[in-house]
Structure 1
Amino acid sequence: MAAYTEGVPCWADALLPDVEAGKRFYGELFGWTFDEGAGPEYGRYAQAYKEGKAVAALAPKRDGRMPTVWNVYFATPDAFASARKIRDAGGRLVTEPMPVGPFGTMALAADPEGAVFGLWQGGTHEGFEKAGEPDSFCWTEVKVRDAARADAFYEDVFRFEGFDLDGVIDGFRTWSPAGAEAGPDTAVGGRELMGEGVPAELPAHFLVYFNVDDCDEAARVTRGLGGRVQSPPVDIPYGRIATLVDNQGAVFAVLQDHAD
């Protein structure tokens, strides 16, 4: 039985110009350690660990025209079937499903507005070994301009149960796995409608969140490491968040639980 239910975010990686610089940045920020990186046949993919458990990876950009970005991957029991559903729902494949040795099968896709996300069909590598805890992945959301179009796409492809947070966070819809009771308690990700104040040139995109013990400290450390704060720490009903940019330009967010 697969470790991750269909549609659950199961992995994240950053595409960077300089992986060694990325190791120094994230090693200092999150206390991550890294392996030596897979061989050239796997793109010298460097896996990150927290307390010995896999939490993410850093990959070198093969082409300077590629974006410097954090990618999120959604679990699928059949990457080829999911790819067909993506096309049928109005999306497109950026990278067709491809086996990655014994580790699994991956693909990159774009939704109808162009937001890029990954698919992962686990093999020997099923995904995160640690998530939802400090210094590990905890959430993802897609930021779009056409909410109805995005909702129809993701709820068709991954069979998500959607739940609107209007009145709590306007323009936000959470996603729960198929068969779960929709709502924040079962949510694994979500969709946010970009408002009129967002620059028109900013395309639809995913944002990857990492849990931290102290949101303000994470912002301070990011600045000290040569990164920057895109959106300063702010309280929301579910915690304290900030949007940060690493020292190579990859955007990510941090979340401090209110209980902390």
Structure 2
Amino acid sequence: MTQVTVRLPNGRLDITALNVSFAELPIASASPSVVRGFGGDLDELRETLRECFADGASWCQVGNTVHTVSDGYAEIRLVPQADTPNWHVDYFHAGWGSRDGKRIPPECRLQYARYVDRRSEAREACLQGKDLRAAAAKDGPEGVDRLVRHHCAQLAEWHEALDELIRSVQTASDLPEWAETAVKAELLDWHRTREYLTSAVLEYHHGDTGPRPETVWGNLCFEFSTTSLELVPDP
């Protein structure tokens, strides 16, 4: 089994030895998460890349990147490198073939892809009380404060990413139907993540959160720079 041995700048792993290309450019590097996703087996990665990006395979172009088309929650993506004429492989954390992905008009995929990338960087995990207790055991109150502030900053970045998505696709007072549906789905996840954060802080300081939902449903209004969206339970 071929293993990665060379790490390039920005955390990229050298896979030029796989001798795989697309559009006459070599696929020269991969993100560590992609390599981990294949259990470190580069032979399997090579065959997957050849199959996914072969002529006639199911892939699409989004801006200057090339994606596999999946009905799941992640796709393999080829990204051109600015410094050298080759491709870098990473994961795109959405699926153009999924129910949600199919709603995105082809002409708006680039804006949505930019949002997905920002969300993926900001969406780390749902914080829980045990995480704060572990931080306290390791670094004391300062560690707890840093962790809570870190998650607050991630939520703010995620919200700003949603705001940017809205601004980039809104051409009238009302959002396009697909965008409103997509943003509301993301807002439910955003609010659930925020609810976990506040419940974790409550549990850490007071020992009990009381009854709480897994996901908060209800008439919640979110204000953005150009519009507001209200989450209402489906009838």
* Interval containing the TM-score (normalised by the shorter chain): under 0.3
Largest Rg, 1 or 2: 2
Q: Which has the higher helix share?
A: 2
Q: Whose relative contact order is higher, 1 or 2, with alpha carbons under 8 Å and at least 6 apart?
A: 1
TM-score w.r.t. the length of structure 1 is 0.24
TM-score w.r.t. the length of structure 2 is 0.26
Q: Which has the higher strand share?
A: 1
